[in-house]
Chains A and B, each alone.
Chain A
Amino acid sequence: MTPEPSFEAPWHAQLFALTVHLNEAGHFAWPDWAARFGATLKRHGLAKELNGGDDYFIVWLETLEALMTETGAAEATALSDMRAAWEAAYMRTPHGQPVTLD
C-alpha cells in the first residue's frame, strides 16, 4: 500500500482532533454533528463544487464554530478577537521564533 499523509494540512488534523475530542468529552453526539455538517456541506455544495480538500475542512470549521457559538462554548466576538490576537502574534514574532500570544 502506498503510504499517504492522513491530513493534507496541519490545521485539518488539528480541527479533526478538536472535533473528535469535543465529541468524546460529551459536548455533542456524533450523529448530531454529522447532520449539521452534512447540512452545511449541502448549502455550500449548491454554490460550487467542493473538492474534498481545503474546501471541505473550511465547511467543517464553519460548522464547528457555529455549534460552539450556539452552545455558548465560544462566542463569535471572542473567536474573532482571538483570531486577530494570533495574527498579531505571528506578525510581531521574528521568523524562526516560537509564536505565543503573550
Chain B
Amino acid sequence: MYVGFHDRVMPHDHSDHDHPHSLLPSDPALRVKALETILTQKGLIDPAALDEIIDTYENKIGPKNGAHVVARAWSDPDFKAALLVDADPVLAELGYYGRQGEHMVVVENTETVHNMVVCTLCSCYPWPLLGIPPGWYKSDAYRSRAVREPRKVLAEFGVTLPEGQAVRVWDSTAEVRYLVLPQRPEGTEGIDEAALMALVTRDSMIGCGLVVSP
C-alpha cells in the first residue's frame, strides 16, 4: 500500500497544489531509478520481473504463511514432529520455500525454553513465512540488544517470562532462517486450524510476543 512518490517533498517543491513540475523523488529513490534504468538497458534485468517480485512480497507472502504452519503444527502432531526435525521438505509441501536457497529451521517454545530470533549481521529473516521484516527487526538497537539483554528487550514488547523459562536467541544467517513455534495458548483445545491461525501474530513467530487465548 504505497502512498506514492509524494512521501518526500524536496525543499524546492511547492507546498500548494499548483506544482509547476513533478515532485522530485528523494535522492535514494532517484539512485534506485538510475540503477534500474542502467541494468535494464544492459539487459541484465527484466522490469516485469521486479513488479512480480514486489507483488509477491506485498500481496502473497506475509505472516499468514507462518501462522498457517504454526496452526497446523498445533493441530497435527506428526506434522509438528517432521517440521521440527527437518522443516524444508515439510514447508515445501505447503508451497513455502526460500527463493534464495536458504534453509528454514523451526524452534519450539516450551515451558522451559523461550526462543527468540535476530540477525546480528543484517536482517536475515524467513521471508517465505513472514514476508518483509518490520522496521524494528532491522534496527541497530534490536540487532545488538536481542543477544545482550533479551529479557529486557522482551519486556519492552510486553513479554515477561517466568524465571524458570530460559531464553534462547537464534542468530539468523543468509543460509539459515529461524521461525519460532509459539506455545499454544490454553483453552484452545476445541478450536480448528483456521481459528488457531487467526491467533498467531507475527511477533510471536519471531519470539517477541506470545500467543494469547481469544
The reply to whether chain A is a binding partner of chain B is: yes
Contact B32 A11 (CB under 8 A): yes
- Does A70 touch B at the CB level, under 8 Å? no
* Residue of A whose beta carbon sits closest to that of B132: A6
- Does B134 touch A at the CB level, under 8 Å? yes
Contact A9 B24 (CB under 8 A): no
Partner of A91, one of B24, B132, B201: B24
Report A-chain residues with C-beta under 8 Å of the C-beta of B175: 31
Contact A8 B34 (CB under 8 A): no
Contact A73 B44 (CB under 8 A): yes
**A39 to nearest B CB, angstroms?**
9
Partner of B122, one of A37, A51, A73: A37
- B residues 7-61 in Cβ contact with A at 8 Å: 7-8, 19-26, 28-39, 42, 44-46, 49-51, 53-54, 57-58
Report B-chain residues with C-beta under 8 Å of the C-beta of A97: 22
Report B-chain residues with C-beta under 8 Å of the C-beta of A101: 37
List the count of A-B residue pairs having beta carbons below 8 Å apart. 194
Contact A95 B22 (CB under 8 A): yes
Given the interface pairs A1-B67, A30-B174, A79-B31, the reply to whether A22 lies near B36 with Cβ below 8 Å is: no
Contact B21 A94 (CB under 8 A): yes
Contact B28 A11 (CB under 8 A): yes
Interface size class of A (residues with CB under 8 A): 35 or more
* Residue of B whose beta carbon sits closest to that of A33: B174
Contact B44 A22 (CB under 8 A): yes
Partner of A52, one of B29, B31, B138: B138
- A residues 1-36 in Cβ contact with B at 8 Å: 1, 4-11, 13-18, 20-25, 27, 30-31, 33-35
Contact B174 A35 (CB under 8 A): yes
Contact A68 B39 (CB under 8 A): yes
Q: How far is the CA of A95 from the CA of B134 in the complex (A)?
A: 33
- Does B129 touch A at the CB level, under 8 Å? no
Partner of A83, one of B1, B34, B64: B34
Report B-chain residues with C-beta under 8 Å of the C-beta of A95: 19-23
Partner of A6, one of B26, B62, B141, B142: B62
- Does B115 touch A at the CB level, under 8 Å? no
Report A-chain residues with C-beta under 8 Å of the C-beta of B29: 9-11
12 CB-based A-B contacts, threshold 8 Å: A7-B2, A7-B58, A11-B26, A15-B32, A16-B57, A16-B132, A20-B100, A30-B174, A35-B121, A50-B139, A64-B35, A74-B35
Given A21-B53, A92-B21: 18 more A-B contacts, CB < 8 Å: A7-B2, A9-B7, A9-B29, A11-B33, A13-B58, A21-B46, A22-B44, A30-B101, A49-B140, A52-B134, A56-B138, A68-B35, A73-B42, A78-B38, A82-B37, A83-B33, A86-B37, A87-B30
Q: Which 10 A-B pairs have the closest CB atoms?
A: A52-B138, A95-B19, A34-B174, A52-B139, A82-B34, A38-B121, A11-B29, A30-B100, A17-B53, A31-B174
